[in-house]
Structure 1
Amino acid sequence: MTAADPGTRVERIRQALQAAFSPVALEVVDDSHRHAGHAGARDGRGHFNVAIVSPAFAGMSPLARHRAVYAALGEMMQSDIHALSIHAEPPPAS
């Protein structure tokens, strides 16, 4: 697999988010195939959906959670990811 391989990208995204947030739930889906021919897909970067639940998001606004996810993904936002849909939440209060 190369760094551009979708399976590798999903795993790299998963590892970065695991390391940053120690989530209790994490799902990363590569939706790049749904955007074939899209102008943004021509550069080789992918489209991904992330659903993440982590105590690290407690007390954060939705915008702050999104910014934290972008920061955790760092360089991948420039090299591997063209579009990212994020659903980031803290665990439900008990």
Structure 2
Amino acid sequence: MMMLFLFMTIGGCVLLYLSHRNQQWLQQRLAVLPLRLVGVTLVLAGAFAAVSYLPVNAAMFAWLVLMMLVIGLLPFASLLRAEPIERKRGL
């Protein structure tokens, strides 16, 4: 259950990041509405998976810390690329 909690929470955070307009991993962001809903669903399901094997206060703490870690580090992962992404600036 712990691995399920980790994969669901991290996967949900990645989907939320990739559907944001300021993400730097892809040329274009992913589709907003369907993938944000999937991301939120995965993050919430990860919380419920954590509650199933940890006490509630420890599960919520681990869930929030993991989300803060992943969402805080995802923008810096684009710095590991060899070449920067060229974006078209439009209105």
TM-score normalised by length of structure 1: 0.31
Higher helix share: 2
Higher strand share: 1
Structure of larger gyration radius: 2
TM-score normalised by length of structure 2: 0.31
Q: Relative contact order: is structure 1 or structure 2 higher (C-alpha 8 Å, sep ≥ 6)?
A: 2
